[in-house]
Each structure stands twice: as structure tokens, then as C-alpha cells.
Structure 1
Amino acid sequence: MAASNPLETVRGSIALYTGAVVLLFYFITSIHQKWSRYRFAKQHGCGPIRALPKYDPFLALDRLYLNIKTAKKRKILETNVLRYEEYGNTFSTQRITTPLILTREPENVKTILSLKFKDYSMGDRLQVFGPLLGHGIFTSDGEDWARSRHMIRPNFIKEQVAHLEIFEELMEDLFALIPTDGSTVDLQDLFFGFTIDSATEFLFGHNVHSLKKRVSQVVDNGPDFSEAFNYSLENILTNSRFGPLMFLNRDPKAAESNRVCHEMVEQFVDKAMKVREKYDEEKGVDESESRRYLFLNGLAQQTSDRTRIRDELMNVLLAGRDTTASLLSNMFFMLARHPKVWAKLQEEIATLDGRAPTYEELRNLKYLKYCLNEALRLFPVVPLNSRTAIKDTIIPVGGGPDGRSPVFVPKGTAVGYSTWAMHRRKDYFGEDADDFRPERWENLRPGWEYLPFNGGPRICVGQQYALTEAGYVTTRIAQRYSVLESRDPGPWEEKLTLTLSSYNGTQVSLRH
């Protein structure tokens, strides 16, 4: 038998010694972390919280399967409320390998979004949203997010939002697509067309005229942007459920949908690059474009990176199109089923004597505001959201036997909050919290329990634009049609992507 090589023996010993040191270091570090976290939690009086049961202790794949199954039945939000009612207003679960705390406590939401804003990040949002949205205001953190917000904010100051002419110019296109013989029309489909037209005009100075093309019956053999955009958003939601396993969700149609969306936005990128060329030549922009701030022009002056411009445009297009269209669709779904509310709304709007309202007149229509608030309460545009802890921190309530003690949130934990479930809490909104009753807003002055546009530093900069557009469209429709009837015999069903709309659309009849 050959003698062993002394050098190999030494190398083997060194390898074993190194491995033992690494394991020892890992063990000591782990024990120290657990001890530090125990002291941190005890110091802040944190208590344990209830956990959703799971049968897979490693990846919680049973929870993933259940969520996918529930989503196919269009019952995610309804099931969400039932879980809070069973397990309390704050409980823990797991998304694949990520620990997850779910809450509908206003104080916790306020802490996450405002009081301890710097303790949290957007988590894996860039990985999940990135294929469609890239780096933009909805996917970025830190300085990148601050730059995006700084560029878009001037587009939403009062002087900009008060230009109602943009909306009025589109109303005739909308009216032309609503049948006057009492036959059924899907207002949701028209609202999404209206808002993409208004958003591209308001933000980019270039209306894509989606409604006008329908009125003219222009045959467009190209890919359907709206269909592609909706599919891409649905795929984002699927990826978010898969978390670290999103690589398993290989969907060629999603990749093609992303390509279609990017291709449509490229026309605006080209426009931005032309603005950039003029800016570089110190000739400024055209006089016709300099009368008001355009996000497209501001962006073009900030960067010549085509990908960055495209990503930012995709982000604001999502906000400008989906939020207002979802609000209008869900509100008219309910108005059509509540004729007394519709009549009361028309009575208030009749004070305008058929004139298009001014910005100030629109703001003074109280019952219209109540209807908008109630629609946003029952159908918050973004019903589910989350943040991820980037350091060990706490949320103020949810722990202990009575659920009133603070809860320890370890670094890397995702904290999800449900505005949908929070807006349905009977202790805040009354025993009829599930009902559409705009009158409740006569005396209601909610705090963080009502959060239709998020809160804290990342509060939606476009909320006044969305409310103004929705209010204006509602006013003009109410002036034009006296009769609004529902033509959908079934209940409202969720269509949940990044925003919330009605799965069956808004099937109604409108008559003079």
C-alpha cells in the first residue's frame, strides 16, 4: 500500500479546520443574532402573533397552491377579509422562503409608510415588476425613487390639474360610443380608453386617440395595447405570489405582452429624444409645448438614456390609465344598482344648469365627493400592498393575547397590508361597512383607516388629478343621461392585477 502524501494530509487537515471554523463562526453569529433580536423584542414589549396554519414547513407550497386556486375563483380579496376575521387584524404567514406579516391595523400601516419609512424598502418589487416597468417611480427606492418623484410632481400641481379642457375634448368621443337606444354598453372598457387618451395627452402632450379610432371605426391590425398591458399586469401578480420561485412561471405570452407594451411606448421615447436634441442645442422646446409642464419634456431634459425614459413612461402610464379607470368603473357599477344615489347625485349636478363645471365648482359638489370616497373605500384602486424590512424593527400593535402589544419585525420580513380589508372594518365604518352608502361621508373624518391613495412620503402624487378626472367624467355623464340601469345580473367580481376593477366590466344602459 502506497504511503499517503504528507502534503495532501496537511491540505486535508487545513480544509477540515477551515470548515470547522466557518461552521463555528456561523453558529456563534446565529446565536448572537437570536440573542440580540430577543433582547430587542423584549425591550420594546413585543408579543407573539397568530400564524396561518401550513402543512409545508419549508416553502409553504400549500399556501401558494391555495392562493392560486382562490385567485382563479376571483375570491382573493373576499378570502383576505375572512382570514383577518378568523386570525385577527395582524397575523403571520410565509411566502415561499420569505417570512410575511399581514395586517389591516391603521397604526401599523402608518408606521410602515410614514413613522418608520426608512426601515422599509420595496423588497423584490423590481424583480417582479421589472420585465414590464423596469426602473421607475413604482419600482425604485432611495435616490432613484426621489428623482422619479421630483420629475413627475410638477405635472400634478393645481394649475396643471385645473386644465379641464383635456377632459372635455374627450367627452364627445366617449358619448359617441354610448348607445342611445338603451342597449347595453360596457363603461369599464370605455373608461380605460378614455384614461389612456387623457393620460398620454396630459403627461406626454400626445394623445393616442384610442376612443376616436373606435368612433371612426379605424381598423388597427397591430397588437392590442390594452389587452397586452392587462395580461402583463396579471403576470406580475402571479410572479409576486411565486416570490423566489417566479422563475418557474415561464409564460411566453407575458414576454410578448411586455414587448407590445414597450413598442407602443417607444413612440413617446422617440418624441422625448427629439425634445432632448433641442434641449442640447439650447433652443428650448416648441412654444406650443412650453405653456404647461409635460412630464415627457422634463424627463427628456434629465436623461438621454432611452431605456430609462421608457421605464419612467411605463410607470406613469400605469398610474394615469389604471387608477382613474378603475375608480370610475367600480363607482358606476354601484351607481347603476343604487337608483336613489344616482338620482341624488343628478339633483346636485343639476345646479350647474348643464354647463361643464369649472375646477372650483367640481370641488364644491359634496355628494359627488361622497360617492367617489365611498367607491374608493369599497373598491380601493390598490387593494393589497407591502413593504420589506431592511433592518430589525417593530410595528406597534398585533402581538400578545389581546393583539395590542407591539410586534417584532426581523430584517428581511415582508409586511403586507390590505386596504380592502381595512376599509371594511365595522369598528371604523359601521355595521353596514360592506354596503355602498355615500351618506356615511357626511360625518366621517377618517385617519389612516382610509387609505385609497397610500400615505407617507410615497403618497400618490396624482390623487387630485385622478379625483378631478373621475369627478368631471361623472358630472358630464350625469348631465347627459337621466337613466342609468345595471345590465349585469351577477354580483361584483374582482379583476385583480396591480389595480382593481370589475371582472365582468360595468354593463349598464344609459338613456336621456
Structure 2
Amino acid sequence: MVVVTPGVDFIALSLVKITVPSALFAFSLRALSNSYNYHVPTWALVSGSVLFVPLLSMARIIYKRFDDKRQAAALGARLAPTIDGKSIGNLDILSTMRRLWDTGYPADGLTEVFSDKGPVANMRILWSDMIFTSSPEHIKAILATDFHNYVKGKRFHNNMFSVLGSGVFNSDGDMWKFHRSMTRPFFTRDRISDFELFDRHADTAMTLIKERMRSGHAIDFQDLMSRFTLDSASEFLFGHCVHSLTAGLPYPHNSSYVPPESKTPQSNRADDFARAFLEAQEIISSRERYGWIWPLTEILGDKTKEPMKVVNAYLDPIIQEAIAKKDAAPKSEEVKAESHVEDGKTLMDHLVSLTSDPVILKDETLNIMIAGRDTTAATLTFIIYFLAMYPAVLVRLREEILAKVGPTRRPDYDDIKDMKYLRAVINETLRLFPIVPFNTRESINATTWASPDPTQKPIYIPAGTKVPYSVFLMHRRKDLWGPDAEEFDPDRFIDDRLKKYLVKNSFIFLPFNAGPRICLGQQFAYNEMSFMVIRFLQQFSSISLAEDAAPPEAIPPADWATSEGRKAIERVYPKVHLTMYANGGLWVNMKEADNN
């Protein structure tokens, strides 16, 4: 059997697109010459056939540019400012952005572009419009006021399909509505405020921290939180905890200690699942950054195939068990997507009551797993990073926790709701490190965006245009957040700055998206993160960064110190695949509180 890879398929399709028009041109030219009894020289026929498609493509590019200007003028608008590279098709810009993505600080390259062009610019990689924005007015149109004119689009869907399938994050229209309606009932208040599950896994995590601190070794807090959220999410969603917290935590790279083998077959599978899931996400996010030529990077095969084998090997038995359980149960009345979920039922139980299609079930659970696990783990990591960087914030937050909850009591929903400083710390972390810092949509119909400069005409957005946007850049704009926009200061969500900036324009802060596609699990995430922070600070009184324990890839490059803004003072290496994370982990030491 011949295995067709994404790269081979792309090349084959490209050859068809090139050879068929060239052959038709040659045939037509020969037929025309014969009808006039004129012999076209072979060299002219061959040359014309070879040049036909490139010249036709060039003509199309020129015509589209001309037509866009004409359409913009008809709407009283202008084209978006264009970034002009030094090489054909702006390949130098693509190369630079790829390099900065791998080795730089988030948004490196884009920051310079927006400081020069303003908050919206057309990167036109390989002659394809890609109008990037960090403007709250434009993002509001994309996500809310003109929602129906923007979709994920076929290109995005194809890039992500081998991992996300047609799940809620990779679908549009009726399929998106179907997936969203299936999961919405599961995120009601009574479910997201049930903290018993969080508490069990939090206790395990706290015990692991104490054991590690007593051994005299630093701990990778990001790794710990990834395990905590994976165990919590898998039990909450599937009713099957992967028990990744039992797999044994990594030791510092420079430690000579060799821990005894403590992994069970189950914990090994959990580690393999987590590692493969991360690898698959990194691959599809890389595809998106390469644009429409990404298949050329996978000539030898679909790079997601092997990691997804591991992911599927873990999920398939859970899905089949859920389907079998449903089939064996007495037949009941038809369940509607929006129906209330009974107590004791998992998301998987609810989903199989709506469909027995294993593909749909797997797509949805994987999409929700990314939302329920990766995002929370990373945000908790950056919260602890900031508490280590800013001890005064930790002291004040711990005082609020002890005053509201005390040193040992388990917090409840009302406790969390009343803790204003805790919410401010979480929000400030999400502002500086929004968990999905870059996102994209595609326009359906031609439209216009308001000009960032009110003295200029609106900006024309052609139909079928890719429109990436960055809340990471928007959250750090000094014209939106004040001159201290790049400083970590939770009080901005409490003091007069709240009214001055955020209240008058709520779209400058979008850590959980907005509009019809706003994150269904937003309050669930706030509750889980709040609960974990409370439990942590009840038992630990201080945190310090253990940079000597961190591997080399976790240390920011030395030249960052000469940069501006947060980049110059950062002591972790923030990076992005689909979501943000700390490269190499977050290695810290902690001190147990006296009350323990």
C-alpha cells in the first residue's frame, strides 16, 4: 500500500495545478497555430508552457492587489499597512519569524512591526494576505459584533485536523454549535463548584512538594501542575484518573541523585500520554506558523501520526467502555444536547448519551482536555513564578487567604468569590501571560475595520483573508493599560486604574476569548486555580526560584537583559505552542508554613 504523506500530497496537487494549465495552454496554442497554418517553434511552445503558470499567478496577484484597492475605495476605506520584506514573497520575514518563534520572547518581531506600522499590519507571506491585529476594536468585531463573518476556516481546519479533528476548537457552523451544545450543560455552577475532586489531587501534590523540599532538591512546579491538572481533568471529564502524580517527579538536571524506580505501568502510560499530547500540539502549532506551505515540512510523513498513536491508545479504551456501558444500560428517553447532566455523571457519560460515534467523542474530549488541562497548568505555573518574583504580593495574598479561609479549612465557592486580591493576582497573571496569546480567524465576506488613527480611512479586509490577532500584545499596550503596562501589579484590577482602563473598554482584557465562542470553562478554570493557590499558600509561606536547578533551556538568553520591558527582567523562558508554557519548566524551592 502506498502511503501518501502531507508533503507528497501537496507536491502532487501542486504539480497538477501547474501541469494541467500549462498543457492546456500548449494544446490551445498549437491548435490555434495549426488553424492559421503557422508553425510555432518548439522552443517557443516549451518556453510559453513553462512560463504560463508563473505569469498567470503573477497576473492574479497584481490583479487582486488592484481589485482590493478598487473595492476599498468603493467602501471609503484603505488597504492595511503592508510589511515589505527583502526577498520574494516575504520569505525573509517568514524565516525571521520562525527563528524568533523558536529562540525569542513571545511576540518578538511582531512587537517591532506594530511599533512601526501601528496595531494592524498585513504580513503578506508568500503573496497571501495575513492581516495581523492587536486592536481591541478589531478583535471585538472578530469575536463578537461581526462574529458570523469570521470562521476558523478550511486552512486552519486542515492544519489542525490530525490532532483536534472536528472538535469544538476546530470547527465552524453547525458542527461547532453541535459540539458546544454537547458540553455546555457540564459547566453549570453546581459542577464547577464541587471541590472534593480538586482537594484529593491537591493533597497529593502538596505531599509531593513537602517530600521534595525535605530531600533538599528543587521541584519543577510546571511539571507538578501539569500532572495535577491532568489527573483532575481526566477524572472530571472521563471518570478515569490517569494517576500521573504517582509517576515520580523529575529531579534537577545537575543532581547526582538517582531515585529508585517507582513508576507503575499505569503511571508510565500517563507520562507517555502527556508527552505525546504535548508533541502533537507542538507539531500542529508549527504548521500554522509555516502557512500554506507547511506540508513541505512533512514530506516523509505526518509528524502527528506517532504521538497520536499513543494518545489514541489511551483514549480509545475509555471511549469504547463508555459506549459499551451505554449500550448495556436500559433504554431511556432521548437525551437532548442541552439537557441537565445528572449528578455523578462524567462528561464522557453525557457525550455518549448524545452520540455513539467514537470519532466525535474523541475529537470533543481531546479539545476539552487541552482547555481543561494545559491552560490551567500553565497559568498556575506563571502565578507561582510571579509570587516568587514578587514576595510582597505573596505575603499580601497569603494574608487574605488566612483571613478568609484560615490555615487548614477547605475553601468553598463563596470563599473564592469573596477573595478580591486572589482574583486580581490571577487576572494580572493572565494579562501578562494570556494562555492563548495568539489566535486566528478567516473573513468570509469583505468588510472594513475602524482605523486605529481616527484621522485616516477605515481598513479594508478582503473576503477569505486570514486575520490573526494577539491578546498577548494587546494586554501589554501602554495606550490601553497605562505606562506601567508591562509591570506585574495585581492592584490594577482593584484601584482607580480598573475604571480608567478596563471598565471603559472591557475588550482590552480577553484571557478566555469573548462573544459566542467565549470559553465555557472560564469559571471552572478560575475555581480550580483559586482552589489550588489557596491550598498551596495555606501550607507554604515562601517561594524562591531555583535557577541553579533549572536545565539550560529554561534560562533566558543573556542578551534579553539589554531589551526593553518585561523581556529584560524575565527569569523564566516563556514559549508558545497552542498555549503558553515555561520552557524547561519552573524550578523552585519552598518553605513550609509554621502552622503545618
2:317 counterpart (263, 267, 270): 267
Residue type matched to 1:146 in 2? K
Shift of 1:31: 11
1:118 aligns with 2:118: no
Shift of 1:85: 1.4
> Is the CA contact (8 Å cut-off) linking 1:278 and 1:284 kept in structure 2?
no
Q: Structure with the greater relative contact order (CA < 8 A, sep ≥ 6): 1 or 2?
A: 1
> Is the CA contact (8 Å cut-off) linking 1:151 and 1:295 kept in structure 2?
no
Provide the residue aligned with 1:226 in structure 2.
274
1:237 counterpart (279, 285, 288): 285
Residue type matched to 1:495 in 2? K
1:74 aligns with 2:74: no
1:469 counterpart (514, 523, 528): 528
Shift of 1:40: 4.5
Shift of 1:270: 1.6
Shift of 1:79: 3.0
1:130 aligns with 2:161: yes
1:204 aligns with 2:224: no
Per-residue deviation, residues 443-469 of structure 1 (Å, max 9, x unmatched): 315211111011111111111111110
Residue type matched to 1:12 in 2? A
For residues 411 and 458 of structure 1, the distance between their equivalents in structure 2, rounded to whole angstroms, comes to: 21
SS of alignment partner, residue 589 of structure 2: strand
SS of alignment partner, residue 130 of structure 2: strand
- Give runs of aligned pairs for residues 362-377 of structure 1, distance below 5 A: 362-377=416-431
Runs of 4+ with >4 A deviation: 13-17, 26-40
Provide the residue aligned with 1:353 in structure 2.
406
SS of alignment partner, residue 448 of structure 1: helix
Provide the residue aligned with 1:424 in structure 2.
476
In 2 relative to 1, CA 198–12 (structure 1 residues): closer, same or farther, beyond 3 Å?
same
Provide the residue aligned with 2:206 in structure 1.
175
1:312 aligns with 2:383: no
Residue type matched to 1:457 in 2? P
Shift of 1:264: 1.5
> Is the CA contact (8 Å cut-off) linking 2:449 and 2:460 kept in structure 1?
yes
> Is the CA contact (8 Å cut-off) linking 1:137 and 1:145 kept in structure 2?
yes
- Give runs of aligned pairs for residues 42-61 of structure 1, distance below 5 A: 42-58=73-89, 60-61=90-91
Shift of 1:411: 1.1
For residues 113 and 224 of structure 1, the distance between their equivalents in structure 2, rounded to whole angstroms, comes to: 36
SS of alignment partner, residue 55 of structure 1: coil
Residue type matched to 1:259 in 2? K
Runs of 5+ in structure 1 lacking a partner?
1-7, 18-22
> Is the CA contact (8 Å cut-off) linking 1:105 and 1:397 kept in structure 2?
no
TM-score w.r.t. length of structure 2: 0.77
For residues 15 and 27 of structure 1, the distance between their equivalents in structure 2, rounded to whole angstroms, comes to: 29
For residues 14 and 458 of structure 1, the distance between their equivalents in structure 2, rounded to whole angstroms, comes to: 59
> Is the CA contact (8 Å cut-off) linking 2:79 and 2:461 kept in structure 1?
no
Provide the residue aligned with 1:3 in structure 2.
none
Residue type matched to 1:475 in 2? I
Shift of 1:238: 1.2
1:161 counterpart (168, 171, 192): 192
> Is the CA contact (8 Å cut-off) linking 1:91 and 1:398 kept in structure 2?
no
Provide the residue aligned with 1:448 in structure 2.
507
SS of alignment partner, residue 387 of structure 1: strand
For residues 313 and 164 of structure 2, the distance between their equivalents in structure 1, rounded to whole angstroms, comes to: 13
1:302 aligns with 2:354: yes
Per-residue deviation, residues 215-241 of structure 1 (Å, max 9, x unmatched): 893333557111111111111121111
1:340 aligns with 2:389: no
Provide the residue aligned with 1:511 in structure 2.
591
For residues 128 and 115 of structure 1, the distance between their equivalents in structure 2, rounded to whole angstroms, comes to: 27
Residue type matched to 2:179 in 1? S
Residue type matched to 1:200 in 2? S
SS of alignment partner, residue 509 of structure 2: coil
Provide the residue aligned with 1:494 in structure 2.
574
> Is the CA contact (8 Å cut-off) linking 2:68 and 2:79 kept in structure 1?
no
For residues 174 and 331 of structure 2, the distance between their equivalents in structure 1, rounded to whole angstroms, comes to: 28
TM-score w.r.t. length of structure 1: 0.89
What's the RMSD between the two structures over aligned residues? 3.0
Shift of 1:15: 11
> Is the CA contact (8 Å cut-off) linking 1:95 and 1:241 kept in structure 2?
no
1:148 aligns with 2:179: yes
1:282 aligns with 2:335: no
Shift of 1:399: 6.9
> Is the CA contact (8 Å cut-off) linking 2:282 and 2:578 kept in structure 1?
yes
Shift of 1:30: 10
Q: Indicate the percent of aligned positions where both proteins have the same amino acid.
A: 32
> Is the CA contact (8 Å cut-off) linking 2:159 and 2:287 kept in structure 1?
yes
In 2 relative to 1, CA 394–57 (structure 1 residues): closer, same or farther, beyond 3 Å?
farther
For residues 199 and 235 of structure 2, the distance between their equivalents in structure 1, rounded to whole angstroms, comes to: 12
SS of alignment partner, residue 485 of structure 2: coil
Residue type matched to 2:231 in 1? D
